[in-house]
Structure 1
């Protein structure tokens, strides 16, 4: 059986390939994924695959890093979109018995949370 980090890497590869059936094969039936930034919870494999399959086309996936500790895998991914700009997502996945059973994803757009003026003398822009 593949280690949890390999399962998550394959998850992103299948997402990029729009291989929805293959993506679903990596997910537990009772998968729960939370998106705290938008206040949403996706319950079930079919709903998670559906949300991603219905997302407006024009996007691509660039995996920046994957770090694993046992069943917990963290991925950082950049998702440029032709018309919606660039998104970044940090995802915390739980992988058990070769399937992703849960996740929490923090989606954002670089620069969407501007630095307050009081920090200007203490930070560098990236």
Structure 2
């Protein structure tokens, strides 16, 4: 699969994620894919389990915004924000492809925090 095809597959995946189309969202995954959530120590094995887990999430996202996608070869990273019940979760997804499917994904989730005053003189606020 070319990098252009992988990028198109990722665009379709994230668009389906944003619209809540579970079938289209999970078409990118291999049947035996693995998805890791390091912060909670969880590993989801298999596309069906991943789709079921996401389909049963009690707080459906009310917002979804991809900030950027970068990658090369079989390794691609997406930075995005998901909004759950009015609260943003800054998220990074690292996807490893084999052929035309994701075989391993690692996702990191982070809550926003207030910038400390001590470093104000060296920083700018992001838009």
TM-score for the superposition, normalised by structure 1 = 0.82
Contact kept in structure 1, 2:61 and 2:82, CA below 8 Å: no
Matched, 1:35 2:43: no
Gaps of 5+ in 2: none
Tell me which of the two structures has the higher relative contact order, counting C-alpha pairs closer than 8 angstroms and 6 or more residues apart: 1
Contact kept in structure 2, 1:77 and 1:89, CA below 8 Å: yes
Superposed CA offset, 1:21-59 (max 9, x none): 222322100010111111111111011111211122243
* 1:11 aligned residue: 13
Contact kept in structure 2, 1:26 and 1:99, CA below 8 Å: yes
Runs (4 or more) in structure 1 with deviation over 6 Å come to: none
Q: What SS does the corresponding residue of 1:3 show, helix, strand or coil?
A: helix
Question: Quick one: structure 1 residues 35 and 120, their matched pair in 2 at CA, closer, same or farther if it must change by over 3 Å?
Answer: same
* 2:109 aligned residue: 107
Deviation of 1:125 (Å): 6.6
* 1:50 aligned residue: 52
TM-score for the superposition, normalised by structure 2 = 0.82
Question: Quick one: structure 1 residues 104 and 122, their matched pair in 2 at CA, closer, same or farther if it must change by over 3 Å?
Answer: farther
Query: Across the two proteins, how many residue pairs are aligned to each other?
Result: 122
* 1:88 aligned residue: 90
Inter-partner Cα distance in structure 1 for 2:121 and 2:34: 39
